[in-house]
Chain A
């Protein structure tokens, strides 16, 4: 099981966090500080895994962003590495380019996509197309709903006047 997902910039700034196990706010801050200290200082050729507090953290760098996932000690690190890559590919496919990722990652789309990939710390959907389709469906529906509510609320507003 994946305990949490972290996205940290090269400067140590947090871009996205998702916690599947229970961590208090204080613990979260501590975890982020500790891990960014460990991961950001690691050399480029070392392995993408770090053993940390009895758990394992798998990380991978894309452009200036570090994607980190924390897993149980008996997990398959290479698999997690691919789940990270899977996520990045979906993000890439959805947003068009990873270069923009740093600025876009903070938006909630990244969370929605992550929610389609992982659920309660397990890989939910291995098919890229399915994920993109699901997120697109949400988008289109959201758009139509928005229009409707927009028009309804104006009608109501007019009626109530």
Chain B
């Protein structure tokens, strides 16, 4: 294209670019740039610089600014250039000002006049240049100055101008909706523009408008649909094709708009189904842009009134994305999955392993996206695992922004779904410990309130247990160095309030710790203040209880120090403490009643008890009080408030001659600032959520308040005691003890084979871990689903024992049956043919599995033998799945029959693996069993009331289930 010759870059400039390009260090680069700035400063202010030279200087300034240095000394020259008659110079000027100036810069007022003139130019290139500048520079105050001209340009003969005029109006709308509200009809008109480019540009403002007010644009649904149809049918000129796709960017924009319009509107959505189906069919899945359109289609389908066929297409695309090697597509797949599970929760089931893969992926972006997905599918059954994972990740990262976000999500989930109070407190402790300074202070207050108020139960006993466990955990945590300030405040408050309440710790224990805190964090006055008040409370409770108070020596020295503190707050607290200690028990009880933090204190806001005193004073001739409002009303102009107002302003204030209203507005954001930067915790939700928890905790409060038992309570709730191992595997502390009992059995089974397969272990280990995680992560709805079908309590109780034995095995990575899988897990999953699934629904697979699981030992043994002959061809197993039918007939009997014997069979079974191990290549029964356990647990299904969905969700898992059944049959025949 050869216009490079026309750049007029002097040798000097090229040298500069070159030397900066070659600079070895940032310091060297800075030195060069500073030198350049000096030169330019000198030269640019010389008189009579030729235009060409000036243009080059400006470009050099742009370059300097781009490198992060301040080139503001040259801004005015750039502004001057926009006034120039020559288009070449003018364009450079406009370019420079759009790059230099933000919309709130003072110099903009100097450009407005030029822009006005240029918008009227008969050279469309000048108009275009001016419109580019308008988009960037015109701010709320200057919109009226150019608005009429811009509106006129909407009818300009050149499409490039119309397009830019539309975009300029869009920009105005973004900056000040009220200024262009009367012009909105223009956007509708331009939608019918002959030029597709202009039509495409119009979609941007329309998208914004529709986002705000869907209902006024429902009439456009048909127009959008027909445009999209035409685009998809390649009616637009070839010029808009992009990589063989017909105008994909316009398609994407239209899909976004349709998603808004069809949301919750059945009628509008029905109009869209055909065209969306067409796009799903026609779109090119091999190119990136095709996938972009697919993704947008999924977003649209998941937003509009659901249509089963479209949802199926969307699910297909998602599974293609997730199976892709490209991380980009995986990322989009996870995102799309997050959107789709809201409507059809069952589709997540088939992708659970892919999700786990993404969670384990070294790519941080993918990992975070997956956490987002998990966040969306959290519920009370899997909250502990998900939050634990989140916290682990939170600890591992340094990015404060994301840390804040993930911490707030943990808090939110914990508040919403906490399975037990203890768990909640432990979780909050972890969050505070590792991200305390990033968490909203409100969260800390919520935690204190929670501990103080309890969980809204009538049972005081449970509350006090909660408190003592909190106190205990805090005393332990205090041993760790460098705790965040917010967390220390909570700790101090709780120790002060409840430290001695249960009599487990003596006052000297608590006060000693508190003194340590005050000493260790002596630079943090807030913490110190909390500590002193906590000390005061502790002593006050002691006195009130009639015990003698002996102040520890370190406490005394702390007091001495604080009595002379520079902080008046600390000083006052110290004096108060001193005073309280000197009082008698009765008085102290009046001042510091024990456990009264929740009691309302009545505040006499009018200070009516002082009325007599005031009356007396007025009678003596004192001036009556004038309220602040009245005072400021009188002195509106002159007082400090005014200065205050000017503080946030900078440079020219256009509203100087207007009423002070806009100024007040500018203050509001400031006032709001603290609340916007804090973590968004839905405060009002908080008390409500806590009241939800009683269900699980009530059941356990009858027994003990131990964490383990609490979890039992949860399980009872869902009728699945078998899940203890899985759900707790992630909390490393409890893992061992929970599994401990069952471990013996499993270990003996497997010891023999450990050596044989030691070499394969690493491989096994990975999938093992993953499955374990999947199992615990997605544990939940399946349990729920099973509830209605719990017909065999007895068999379950027995199976419970045996099933436990699997988990320790997997956690110990000893599973002998875990011969290296012939195929990687995802492939195994592929086996789930749709036809298989269709045979499954007639019975509850979970229920069946229930019984099956305890037979694994035997089944695996048996299968090992059979597998030897069939070996790597896993699909062969599915070929013999007719047995499913048999199961259908009598699964209740069969299952209960199976589960019991299998327990007794155990010793026999333990012997068998040795036989089978040698032949254990091929399809891996244990592997698939575990996968099945995981599938069962995996409840991406979402809502707990989706029992209807339970029949179908095994598109992939179903295949495994069938395999299981085949194994059971083999077992039966043995």
Contact = CB atoms under 8 A, between A and B. Distances in A.
Contacts of A13: 20-21, 29
Contact of B4 (A104, A111, A123, A142): A104
A80 to B, nearest CB: 9
Interface residues of B, number: 79
A111 B99 CA distance: 10
A124 B288 contact: no
Interface string A20-61: 101111001100100000000001011111111110000000
B136 A120 contact: yes
Contact of A126 (B6, B136, B240, B366): B240
Given A82-B242, A111-B99, A95 B331 contact: no
B328 interface: yes
B328 A139 contact: no
Interface in B341-383: 362-363, 365-366, 368-369
A73 B63 CA distance: 30
A22 B104 contact: yes
A83 B242 CA distance: 10
Contacts, number: 180
Instruction: Specify which of A16, A43, A47 lies most central, judged by the most chain B CB atoms within 10 Å of its CB.
Output: A47
Instruction: Specify which of A23, A43, A78, A103 lies most central, judged by the most chain B CB atoms within 10 Å of its CB.
Output: A78
A77 B292 CA distance: 8
B171 interface: yes
Contact of A106 (B63, B102, B174): B63
B197 A54 contact: no
B668 interface: no
B752 interface: no
A149 B295 contact: no
Interface string A67-85: 0000000001111011101
Q: Report the 4 A-B pairs with minimum CB-CB distance, sorted nearest first.
A: A78-B292, A47-B327, A29-B68, A46-B363
Given A130-B239, A145-B88, A136 B365 contact: no
A124 B201 contact: yes
B572 interface: no
A94 to B, nearest CB: 5
Contact of B7 (A50, A78, A107): A107
B95 A112 contact: yes
Nearest to B404: A54
A128 B534 CA distance: 70
Contacts of B91: 112, 138, 142
A134 interface: yes
Given A120-B171, A149-B86, 11 more contacts: A51-B402, A53-B401, A76-B295, A81-B328, A82-B248, A95-B1, A104-B4, A126-B249, A139-B3, A139-B6, A141-B87
Instruction: Specify which of B9, B249, B296, B402 lies most central, judged by the most chain A CB atoms within 10 Å of its CB.
Output: B249
B288 A81 contact: yes
B365 A50 contact: yes
Interface stretch (B108-116, B162-170, B432-440, B446-454): B162-170
A108 interface: yes
A49 B365 contact: yes
A48 B168 CA distance: 31
A108 B355 CA distance: 45
Interface string B57-72: 0010011011110100
A83 B123 CA distance: 29
B68 A106 contact: no
16 contacts: A14-B66, A14-B68, A49-B331, A78-B292, A79-B252, A79-B292, A81-B288, A82-B243, A109-B7, A120-B170, A120-B171, A122-B167, A124-B197, A127-B197, A132-B1, A149-B88
B92 interface: yes
B363 A122 contact: no
B649 to A, nearest CB: 16
Interface bin, chain A: 35 or more
Contact of B132 (A17, A76, A119): A119
B204 interface: yes
Nearest to A137: B125
Nearest to B327: A47
Contact of A127 (B88, B239, B369): B239
Nearest to A23: B102
Nearest to B159: A130
B332 interface: yes
A79 B4 contact: no
A28 B295 contact: no
Contacts of A104: 4
A145 B87 contact: yes
B971 interface: no
B405 interface: yes
A125 B847 CA distance: 58
B742 interface: no
B251 to A, nearest CB: 10
A146 B6 CA distance: 10
B167 A120 contact: yes
Instruction: Specify which of A16, A28, A119 lies most central, judged by the most chain B CB atoms within 10 Å of its CB.
Output: A119
B735 interface: no
A13 B20 CA distance: 9
Nearest to B200: A126
B283 interface: no
Nearest to A13: B21
Contact of A76 (B174, B200, B239, B296): B296
A145 to B, nearest CB: 5
Nearest to B58: A108
A146 B88 contact: yes
Contact of B242 (A29, A50, A76, A126): A126
Contacts of A119: 132, 135, 164, 167
Interface in B231-250: 239-240, 242-243, 247-250
Nearest to A47: B327
B68 A25 contact: yes
A76 B251 CA distance: 12
A71 to B, nearest CB: 13
Given A50-B365, A126-B200, A86 B292 contact: no
A76 B249 CA distance: 11
A25 B104 CA distance: 13
Contacts of A143: 6
Given A17-B66, A86-B242, A139-B3, A134 B160 contact: yes
Contacts of B362: 43, 46
B102 A22 contact: yes
Contacts of B163: 124-125
B167 A124 contact: yes
A115 B94 CA distance: 11
B663 interface: no
B292 A28 contact: no
B289 interface: yes
Contacts of B197: 124-127, 130
A47 B330 contact: yes
Contact of B327 (A20, A46, A95, A132): A46
